[in-house]
Homo-oligomer: A and B are copies of this chain.
Amino acid sequence: MSGVSNRAAQSQRALMGVRDLIVSGELRAGTRLSELILVERLGISRTPLRAALAQLGQEGLVEAIPSGGYAVRSFSREEVIDAIELRGTLEGLALRLAAERGVAPARMGELTRLLEGIDEALKGDVADMDFDGYVDLNAAFHEKLWGLASQTIRREIERVTSLPFASPSAFLDKQANVEAFRRSLYGAQTQHRAMVEAIALREGSRAEALAREHARLARQNLEFVLDQDRSLIRRVPALSLVVG
């Protein structure tokens, strides 16, 4: 058996199952989530399903219907932008506090090592970079950054980034290997390096500003997809929930 615990296995399955149905676009924004249908579709009972729906309600992916039950939430462009801004602000807070309070050398070393890995993935030009490698390393780097914050703050970051289009990997899905996105990675890595340097130098305000600006890359990519090439919507998780 794998190392994963069996505790609350059905609940986890329900959570992942419903989330997948939503972000894959199979359930469109506004559609009511009938418990009985989902139960039959996922092969579980109502109890863990209801737990999953409540959790997704907390995450913001579904919203409660006044008369009972839940519906897939829809997001306006402004709300997506605010979610990205929110992530940048929270990451900025995490980095500012880390810079002001100091970080153990071992952790700085881990961050530096990830930076070197990303450099390696970006070696070569736009055509033959290791995009998939970047995706994984970028996710690991951001998670390591979040680990610099206290549990209280880390929890909020993780909740906000549970909205798929607000995550730092939102436009780095392996399905979205597009030149327009690949080109932005060099600038992103420059910001990565600057953020780590700012923390090392205890420059809290700079670290905060950099984190905010870094998140705005996601906003740029969002606006590119919505305004320049809407065919990419299908390639970015949950972007089908955005109206307008």
Contacts and interface: CB of A to CB of B under 8 A. Distances in A.
A41 interface: no
Contacts of A79: 150-152
Q: Which of A51, A86, A151, A152 has the most CB of B within 10 A?
A: A152
Interface string A37-66: 000000000010011001100101000001
Nearest to A149: B82
Interface residues of A, number: 31
This chain's copy number in the assembly: 2
B82 A150 contact: yes
Contacts of A55: 54, 58
Interface of A: 7-8, 47, 50-51, 54-55, 58, 60, 66-68, 78-79, 82-83, 85-86, 89-90, 93, 97, 149-153, 155-156, 159-160
9 contacts: A8-B68, A51-B51, A79-B150, A79-B151, A82-B149, A82-B152, A85-B93, A89-B90, A159-B159
